[in-house]
Structure 1
Amino acid sequence: MYYNGLYHLFYQYNPKGSVWGNIVWAHSVSTDLINWKALEPAIYPSKSFDINGCWSGSTTILPGNRPVIMYTGVDPQNRQVQNVAYPKNLSDPYLREWVKPDFNPVIAPESGVNASAFRDPTTAWRGVSGHWKLVIGSKRDTRGEVILYRSRDFVRWVKAKHSLHTATGTGMWECPDLYPVSLRGRLGLDTSTLGGAAVKHVLKVSLDVTRYEYYTVGTYDHIKDRYVPDGASPDGNTGLRYDYGNFYASKTFFDNKKNRRILWGWTNESDSVNDDIAKGWAGIQAIPRAVWLAGNGRQLIQWPVEELESLRSKHIVVQNKQVPSGGLLEVKGIDSSQADVEVTFQVSGLEKAEAFHPSWATDAETLCGRKRADVKGGVGPFGLHVLASANMEEKTAVFFRIFKAEHKYKVLLCHDPTRSSLRPNLYKPTFAGFVDVDIARTGKISLRTLIDHSVVESFGAGGMTCITSRVYPSLALRRDAHLFAFNNGIADVKVSTLNAWEMRRPLMNGA
């Protein structure tokens, strides 16, 4: 949340080790979303209603500029219940201490609610009637749902007679998020904005069965308290995703400092538990992203917050360089182990594109696994080799590949880390998503990739499609990391413009 000049990040944390368990609400503060100072935990198990765990939840700003946390606690019967906590001292700019009233839990699982699948309350919004409303993730058998509750005072809550939304065969809906987006422009909206015809709503859920996140764009009827996805925005695991890689348990908030909606996502490790124990930590927050509705109204656009650019230092530019079939172009002059790279590729020879099979339309990840960066294509694969060793024994490929479907070209964005490390027994999955662009009209496509030692975050076509991977090179470390543009397709590709910046280290929790 943004409150009285500071950003507050609360996150699930184990102070006793780098594996899951002993979860508390850790607390860090920042003035710019980039440099962070760690404080003592805000919430930890201490009462009967959370003695077996303080799990995820959300903040809401109440009238009178009073923040409240709603979170899931686990009680002695191992029921998941919803509790509130308030700042002990509003005059403390850091809000270090939080008080949990004895009247908790404020929402308990009643008859018909699965007490072991009842968690992660959203930020609340206020309806025209004055009622606060929020939803909680749950499931009935294999049907995922978000259960709606209403309250006038944020203490006494009443369950709605029907779910806000539900979908069969999707399993547990974790970390739900419901928020409004404007049909015009990039500005974010306060969570309580209704707005009629000028506003759509986004419902995101984290699917426990896939460990991926899916969202729909649709209409929230605030009278009937129903959410209906648009026809082009399918429910379930064939739908849209914030990120087609290692990205889960995300949450947005409205930043009233700059009138934008910001998305935070968690990216887990891809090495072993023993590696995590040796490191002494596991899991990171991805770079915060501003989100807004694309001009086509069908999906969200995501882009790293502008404050990230304050870390840019040494800068190099490459312009109008052909990358012929089978070609490599090394980008020299910066430490590319921690870098921000923006590149625009000019594409020609679309008639050489491979045929697209309709069965691939709902499984980009499998398609990327079959047609990896080393598999020669027609138009593509072309893109970047990041965190590459000098002789290319290690490399992580971020690339586009273009296919010819029946009536249009299909553009695939792919992360291929299968050769990212010489270390044995690493989990190195390919990740991929399709990019909704008309490549035949534009003839160009852009890519921004953030590289941070073990993290690679990519934003295709200005943030239309995003992918995050965790990689663990053993050779391509710090100054031994190399950066290349490549083309493994038959058709030639040109690097129209490439800007690359070496990135300074931010203040990370005071370290």
Structure 2
Amino acid sequence: MVIHKKNLKKANQVVSQLKDKISHHQWRLKYHVMPPAGWMNDPNGFSFFNGEYHLFYQHHPFSPEWGPMYWGHVKSKDLVHWEELPIALAPSENFDKDGCFSGSAIEKDGKLYLVYTGNVWVDGPLDEDLKQVQALAVSEDGIHFEKVVGNPVISEIPGGDINTFHFRDPKVWKRGNSYYMVLGSKTKDNVGQVLLYSSEDLFDWQFISVIAKGEGNLGYMWECPDLFELSGKDVLVMSPQGVKPEGILYHNLHQSGYVMGEVDYKTGNFKHGPLHLLDFGFDFYAPQTMEDEQGRRILVAWMDMWESEMPTQKFGYAGAMTIPRLVTMKNDRLYTTPVPELKELRQNEVHYKDFTIDGEISIKDVSGDCLELEMVIDSQEATQFGLKFRVDEATNQETVLHFIKQANVVTLDRNQSGQGPGGTRQAELKSMDNLHLQIFIDKSSVEVFINGGEKVMSARIFPTEQANGIKFFADSSIKLKHLYKWELG
């Protein structure tokens, strides 16, 4: 415990020294959670405790590169304004000395427990050189955490066709009087799967079953599982690694999606349907959900992608979270939309009604680099239409959202978005009649919500500071039935 406190103190001091240098950098997001300095990846421990939302994250405080993982920590009363807190977990014990990997949080007896994977690198072939166990830390105040006596609480991988090395990312919840946990795993011959455990007290865990396993093109490892009930269905969210591209789908290095069905908690059997993606853009991974005191299911994800170029690393930081998204069920699909609390950020409203676009135009007072756009488009006779944002004509920069009506396909194109990786991502829509768009642009990100969350596309982009233009285009006239633009404070 002494080593843990010492390591936390050192990490907090380093972040404190570095953060002022980068706090006003041009690509630092204004209304998203980012690390004050250093590296960020997966959201962890997303929870509600003592009247506040808590969000932890995988954090390397000593550099903007991935390294031995700590848990960074922020909290919020409203999911909009986030307060930076001291780092919550540091590698320190023989079972987690090389990293406190991803996990979750749960309240029990008025205390907040973190459940996480302790990682240790051991000698052996690459990717077979790790020992992973599950451990607990506890806090009375939700800020200062101590690792419990008796760790790790799960020290061995169960028998059967379960890979010996990859065993991580516990998500814990309570159902009735029992606690349950899902863990990311794979088979011995590299097929992704998820394990289910139960406990009466968070300390003593029993393995129930392999609750779900990949078939066909579903990857070699399922990371960051999350199981919850919504509208009478059981939903398993996970991040499969190694899914191969199929048509317009699965073009990121790793994916994040869900399957839906019904869990039999006695047998651990889960009958479910096919995999559906949660986001069709470039930068979305390891989503984690929580249920708040209003009974809403809220999701946040890492808004970056493994092995992508990250231009902010040159300036001492990397990684960001998506805006929090409300998860609802419609027509047996998950829809995700911005939490309504984000409306608090809106300033200086600009509104146009029944505005006709033909060709390519800019619209007065509709521009910026930190804003929300909401619009309803009547596409009329047009076969192709869309908008360009973060436009800088002097340097030929733009990010393009392009709709092709005949195919019902939308393309997000960042080939001219500035620094960083380019590419395109596509999604198929049910219809483009009265198309509804809600677009959140921040200093180095964009999140596009289409038709009330039917499809979502997230991307990091790294344009110049003067790239503030927005243009609308159509190959024949379209009507913006409504167009709202707000600056976001």
TM-score of Structure 1 vs Structure 2, range by shorter chain:
0.7 to 0.9
**RMSD between aligned alpha carbons?**
2.1
1:188-337 pair list within 5 angstroms: 199-209=232-242, 210-230=253-273, 234-235=274-275, 239-256=276-293, 258-268=294-304, 275-294=311-330, 296-297=331-332, 299-324=333-358, 327-333=359-365, 335-337=367-369
Partner of 1:486: 473
1:61 Cα shift? 2.2
| Residue pairs, 1:111-510, within 5 angstroms | 111-112=159-160, 113-127=162-176, 130-140=177-187, 141-160=189-208, 162-169=209-216, 170-182=219-231, 199-209=232-242, 210-230=253-273, 234-235=274-275, 239-256=276-293, 258-268=294-304, 275-294=311-330, 296-297=331-332, 299-324=333-358, 327-333=359-365, 335-349=367-381, 379-380=383-384, 382-390=385-393, 393-403=396-406, 410-421=407-418, 423=419, 426-437=420-431, 439=432, 443-474=433-464, 477-478=465-466, 480-487=467-474, 489=475, 491-504=476-489
Query: Aligned-pair distance for 1:273?
Result: 5.9
Determine the structure 2 residue equivalent to 1:67: 112
Mapped partners of 1:13, 1:398: distance in 2: 32
1:96 aligns with 2:143: yes
- Distance in 2, Cα, partners of 1:335 & 1:329: 12
Amino acid at match of 2:383: V
Q: TM-score, normalised by structure 2?
A: 0.82
Letter in 2 for 1:166: K
Question: 2 CA distance for matches of 1:146 and 1:270?
Answer: 21
Whole-Å separation in 2 of the counterparts to 1:37 and 1:493: 43
Q: Which amino acid aligns with 1:502?
A: E
TM-score norm. by structure 1 comes to 0.78
- Residue number in structure 2 paired with 1:52: 98
User: Contact between 1:413 and 1:460, CA under 8 Å: does it hold in 2?
Assistant: no
In structure 2, distance between residues paired with 1:274 and 1:321? 38
**CA 275–246 in structure 1, closer or farther in 2 if over 3 Å, else same:** closer
Contact 1:267-1:283 within 8 A present in 2 as well: yes
Shift of 1:217: 2.3
Structure 1 residues 2, 158: CA separation in 2 closer, same or farther (over 3 Å shift)?
A: same
Answer yes or no: is the 8 Å Cα contact 2:68–2:99 preserved in 1. yes
1:6 matches 2:6:
no
1:178 Cα offset (Å): 0.8
* CA offsets 1:35-91 (integer angstroms, 9 cap, x no match): 1221111111111111111000011222x333211100013643111001111xx2x
**CA 1:243–1:68 in structure 2 vs 1: closer, same or farther (change >3 Å)?**
farther
Tell me the equivalent position of 2:152. Answer: 105
- Rounded to whole Å, the distance in 2 between the matches of 1:243 and 1:11 is 23
Given that 2:284 and 2:305 are in contact with CA atoms closer than 8 Å, whether structure 1 keeps it comes out as no
Distance, in Å, in 2 between the alignment partners of 1:65 and 1:309 is: 32
CA distance in 2, matches of 1:246, 1:503: 21
Q: Distance in 2 between matches of 1:274 and 1:328?
A: 32
Give the Cα–Cα distance (whole angstroms) in 1 for the partners of residues 110 and 269 of structure 2.
Answer: 29
2:70–2:100 Cα contact (<8 Å) kept: yes
Partner SS for 2:87: strand
The 8 Å contact of residues 19 and 273 in structure 1, kept in 2 or not, is answered as no
Q: 1:215 to 1:457 in 2, by over 3 A?
A: same
Distance 2:255 2:454 in 1: 17
Q: What is the percent sequence identity of the aligned residues?
A: 31
Per-residue CA deviations over 1:192-246 (Å, capped at 9, x if unaligned) read xxxxxxx01211111122411121222222333222223xxx13xxx33344431
Q: Distance in 2 between matches of 1:330 and 1:496?
A: 16
- In structure 1, what residue type is equivalent to 2:339? V
* Cα distance in 2, alignment partners of residues 207 and 383 from structure 1: 32
CA distance in 2, matches of 1:79, 1:318: 58
User: Is the contact between residue 310 and residue 318 of structure 2 (CA under 8 Å) also seen in structure 1?
Assistant: no
Instruction: Tell me, yes or no, if the aligned pair for 1:335 and 1:502 is still in contact at 8 Å.
Output: no
Cα shift at 1:274:
7.9
| One-letter amino acid matched to 2:270 | Y
- Please state how far the C-alpha of 1:303 moved relative to its aligned partner: 1.0
Q: Is the 8 A contact 2:311 2:462 kept in 1?
A: no
Q: Deviations over 1:245-298 (max 9, x none)?
A: 310011000011x3211100111279976833322110100111111101x12x
